[in-house]
Every structure is written in C-alpha cells, then in structure tokens.
Amino acid sequence: MTQPEPPNPGVRIVRVPEDRAGQRIDNFLLGQLKGAPRSLVYKLVRSGQVRVNGGRAKAERKLEAGDEVRIPPVRLETPHDAGRSPPKSLLQALDASIVFEDARLLAIDKPSGVASHGGSGVAFGAIEALRALRPRDTLELVHRLDRDTSGLLILAKKRSAMTELQALLREDHGAGVHKRYLALLVGRLPNGTMAVDAPLHVGLRQGGERHVQVSAAGKASLSEFRVLERRGGQSYCEVRIATGRTHQIRVHAQHIGHPVAGDDKYGDPEANRRLREKAGLRRLFLHASSMEFALDGGRTPYLLNAALASDLVEILNKL
C-alpha cells in the first residue's frame, strides 16, 4: 500500500505489508526497485536516502508490518542497458542445475563461478537467471553461496516458506538446519572431528572488497571439520557449520593452518600452484553438499542433496 505522494517528486513512502514482516530492508528494496543491483541498494541505505519511519536504517534491519519506508527516486537503467537479459549459456546451465522442486522450494546445484545474485561487477547471478527462466514464479533467495563455491542453493517460491526457513537458519545459531559441505584442505588435518569456534569479523578493503578475519570483535562462528580421506598429502573433508557467516569455512580453514585448496583469497598460493600443476585444480575446492530441515513446524522434513561437482571428482582421482 503506497501513501500519497510526498512533496519531493519521485520519492515514495511504502507501508510494509503483513507478509513482508521480518524481511531485511535490503531485500525489501530489491523487490521494490526491480532490476536494481544490490550495490546500489546498499549505497542508498548507507547514504541515508532510504529511511524507515523517518529514521536512518542499516541494510540488515528487519522490517515490521506497518513500517513506512522512504524510497528515493532511482534511475535503474540507461537505454543501452534496457532489455538486457541473462546470457543463454547461463540460463541453460541453471535450468540443467535444478535438483529439487515442489510447490514451495526450488533447489539448484549452483556451478562454481556463478554468483548467487548480481551486483559488485556481476551483471547476472543465479537468482536473476532463474527469475528470467521462471517469470511466473516469485523466487527469492533463502540463503547465499560464495561465487566460487559450488553446490546446493535454495530458493523459495512462496513467501511463507522463505520466512520459516530463514527463521530456522537464524534460531539458535541455525540448529534447525543441518548444512554439510565437502572440501579439500591443504595438508594433513588430524584424524577425527576438529571443531573451530572462532568469531568472524567482516571488513572492507579499498575498492569495497569484503575480507573476513578471526577477531574477538566478530560474530560467533562454529565449524566442524572431519577427514573423509587422505589424497596426495591433502585432506578431503566433510564440513558441518552451525552458523552461516560470510566466508566462514574458508577463514576457519585458514585459521587452523589448513586452507581450502584452490582458495585465491585466504589460501596458500604455493600449495595452490602445486595442485594446479599436479591435478589441474583451477577453482576453490568447496562444495555445498546437503541441507536438512523441516517446515510446517517440524511436520514436513526435507533432505536436499547436490552431488560433488564432476570437475572436483576428477581432481580427487588425480591426487
């Protein structure tokens, strides 16, 4: 429901409807400003042009039903950009990557190199491509994967499913959702399960690039690494995470001295070079393998899987 036009031409005041209660303001704005890159939304919020009930707000603020959001006029595209759509190759790749679908959820096996969403120099991500493939569906990202990480990415087709699943991801450090990853760590990780309980802080480097580090000032983060196999002096591991922080597995792996193979941001350049020459590894060896949870207050269980990417299977076979 939109209020009468305020004095400043082009500015809109939008009242948050009941079914958007609990949504982050950045995601709410992306729905209001169709086609706007996420980087622009963050810029609008940081600059104070977007206000909630008359006051400034951070991008992660959760909205409540009845909140009034001030949305400034935004020029979203130039004539050169008009009519652009995701490339056919991306559409075909994502159409082939669907591993599960029902009336509420859509799950894909996201290829490495594909961003979860557009922005920060990426014109189209998985969500934009899937919306182009499914124009009649209302698709929303439930969570995100790093661009270089392959594997299970879940989207909601119904607002109620997204709200419930995101609540499970938030509650009690995500205890209601069991997430399993597969990773190749550099070197010989000790046998058994190694729990890494180290707070993570997200900082920004010059140019806006996110860089995460272990810091007492960060948010609580817990990862568990378990060796499945030894391959060529490296450790092929199952990783379970109780929290879903930015770059969590990669930074925790670096923190224990066994970075993820192929990680050009937090990894070991010399080890990466050796693995590239020996086994042809040219990407981050990290794959989101499965997610287990239950909707409808625990009555409807889901166990969704994405098999280890074929290029990573090849790498293991060469080690």
Catalytic-role residue among 146, 148, 263, 268: 146
Stated length of the chain: 319
Question: How do 200-204 and 210-214 pair as beta strands?
Answer: antiparallel
H/E segment holding residue 270: helix 269-279
Q: How far, in Å, CA of 256 to CA of 265, rounded? A: 16
Please compute the mean of the pLDDT values over residues 185-210 and round it to a whole number.
85
Least confident residue range of 13-27, 42-56, 86-100 = 13-27
3-state SS of 47-84 is CCCCEECCEECCCCCECCCCCEEEECCCCCCCCCCCCC
Q: How far, in Å, CA of 78 to CA of 70, rounded? A: 24
Give the whole-number percent of the chain exceeding pLDDT 70: 90
Return the pLDDT at 9.
53
Tell which wins on pLDDT, 247 or 18: 247
Q: Would you call 146 a catalytic residue per the annotation?
A: yes
Which tokens is 171 given? 């509650």
For residue 2, what are the CA distances in angstroms to 7, 25, 37, 69, 231? 14, 16, 23, 10, 59
Banded pLDDT at 76 (limits 50, 70, 90)? low
Return the pLDDT at 174.
58
Give the whole-number percent of the chain exceeding pLDDT 90: 55
Query: Residue 46 above 80 pLDDT?
Result: yes
Return the pLDDT at 6.
43
Query: Residue 1 above 70 pLDDT?
Result: no
Q: pTM of the full predicted structure?
A: 0.76
For residue 216, what are the CA distances in angstroms to 2, 198, 199, 246, 252? 43, 8, 6, 16, 14
Please answer whether residues 115 and 125 qualify as being in contact, where contact means their C-beta atoms are separated by less than 8 angstroms: yes
Written as one letter, the residue type at 198 is A
Please compute the mean of the pLDDT values over residues 208-219 and round it to a whole number.
85
For residue 46, what are the CA distances in angstroms to 24, 172, 188, 210, 285? 14, 29, 44, 16, 34
Which residue matches tokens 């925790």? 252
pLDDT tens by residue, 227-278? 999 999 999 999 999 888 889 999 999 999 999 999 999 999 999 999 999 9
Query: Residue 131 above 50 pLDDT?
Result: yes
Return the pLDDT at 2.
45
Backbone angles phi, psi at 163, to 5 degrees: -60, -45
Please compute the mean of the pLDDT values over residues 72-86 and round it to a whole number.
61
Please answer whether residues 283 and 274 qualify as being in contact, where contact means their C-beta atoms are separated by less than 8 angstroms: no
Return the pLDDT at 79.
40
> How many other C-beta atoms lie within 10 A of the C-beta of residue 48?
12
pLDDT tens by residue, 144-163? 999 999 999 999 999 889 88
Written as one letter, the residue type at 290 is S
Please compute the mean of the pLDDT values over residues 176-180 and round it to a whole number.
91
Sign of the four-CA dihedral 50, 56, 57, 62: negative
Least confident residue range of 9-13, 51-55, 114-118 = 9-13
202 - beta bridge partners?
212
Banded pLDDT at 21 (limits 50, 70, 90)? confident
Q: How far, in Å, CA of 70 to CA of 51, rounded? A: 5
Return the pLDDT at 172.
61
Backbone angles phi, psi at 7, to 5 degrees: -60, -40
Structural domains for the chain: 12-71 (3.10.290.10), 88-161 (3.30.2350.10), 174-318 (3.30.2350.10)
Return the pLDDT at 5.
42
Please compute the mean of the pLDDT values over residues 66-87 and round it to a whole number.
71
Return the pLDDT at 109.
97
Task: Give the orientation angle of helix 126-133 with respect to helix 88-96, to 10 degrees.
Answer: 90
Tell which wins on pLDDT, 25 or 205: 25
Helix, strand and coil content of the chain, in percent to the nearest 5, comes to 25, 30, 45
Tell which wins on pLDDT, 284 or 86: 284
Q: E strands within the chain?
A: 12-15, 51-52, 55-56, 68-71, 98-101, 105-110, 140-141, 150-156, 178-185, 193-197, 200-204, 210-214, 222-231, 234-241, 286-295, 300-305
Return the pLDDT at 272.
97
Return the pLDDT at 121.
61
State the average pLDDT for the chain.
87
Q: How far, in Å, CA of 313 to CA of 257, rounded? A: 24
Please compute the mean of the pLDDT values over residues 75-93 and round it to a whole number.
68
